[in-house]
Structure 1
Amino acid sequence: MIAAVHTANAALPGPEREVLALLAESGFGYDGIAELLGITRADVGELAASARLRLAEAPPVPEPCRAQLPRLAGMIDSEVLPAPDHGAGCASCAAALDAMRRADAAYRAWQPGRR
């Protein structure tokens, strides 16, 4: 499992890899990471969501659900991000959130700053 996370992390685009590392190791929230990187809070959520979905090797998220990804990442990171009304109970969003939670747990267990 650790080798798989290492390999998958190495394949992430730089900004996604950087956001995950900052979330896991720095103690910064979305505001601090956004300020540090010169991006918006929503960008932090989008990068975190995209990275976690890549690490999980999750299937593509349907277009109507894509706008929800920063909000879903924020749920993992205890950050509140607005999203367009999408309706409760979307199976695709639930599957994406589950995949992101599994990827986040595996990533944090890997502890990239200590390897």
Structure 2
Amino acid sequence: MDTALPGPEREVLALLAESGLGYDGIAELLGVTRLDVATLAATARLRLARATPVPEACRAQLPHLASRIDDERIDQPAHPDGCASCAAALAAMRAADAAYRADRPPLMPDAVRHRLNGLSY
């Protein structure tokens, strides 16, 4: 299922599903920011869901929406309450996340596992 994802998106989803790390740990491991982790998670989930493209006005909300799925905290930029496009994107991401976790490969990609083994948490 995740083989169609670009490497960084695949790594973030694998780490979220299998490592027990939060955004801070994943960001440190991959050498990116927390916001990058949330953005990669959102993009990956929308790609897996084959969701309709998110309107430009809603794209800045994607990291915040992903953080709601992952029990993390990413500040939400100003945006209208009750946005139907954001609600649809969140529903698609939740469905993709549930499907990924239910049908994920038994092992993390080798590159991710190697980096994770080098951590000293």
- TM-score normalised by the chain length of structure 1: 0.91
Q: What is the distance in 2 between the residues matched to 1:33 and 1:24?
A: 11
Distance 1:79 1:113 in 2: 25
Give the distance between the partners of 1:112 and 1:71, measured in 2 at CA.
Answer: 27
| Residue in structure 2 matched with residue 97 of structure 1 by the alignment | 90
Larger Rg: 2
2:10 to 14, 17, 30: 17
| 3-state SS of paired residue (2:35) | helix
Count of residues paired in the alignment: 108
Report Cα offsets for 1:2-24 as digits up to 9, x if no partner: xxxx2xx1111100000000000
Helix, strand or coil at the partner of 2:40: helix
What is the deviation of 1:83?
A: 2.5
RMSD (Å) for aligned C-alpha atoms: 1.2
User: Could you list the runs of 5+ residues in structure 2 that have no partner in the other structure?
Assistant: 109-121
Q: Does 1:106 find its partner at 2:85?
A: no
Q: What is the TM-score normalised by the length of structure 2? A: 0.86
Q: SS in structure 2 opposite 1:22? A: helix
Distance 2:61 2:91 in 1: 14
Kindly state the Cα deviation for residue 114 of structure 1 after the two structures are TM-superposed: 4.7
Instruction: Name the SS of the counterpart of 1:113 in structure 2.
Output: coil
Give % identity. 72
Cα distance in 1 for residues equivalent to 2:7 and 2:107: 19
Structure 1 distance, partners of 2:86, 2:105, is 28
Instruction: List alignment gaps of at least 5 residues for structure 1.
Output: 1-5
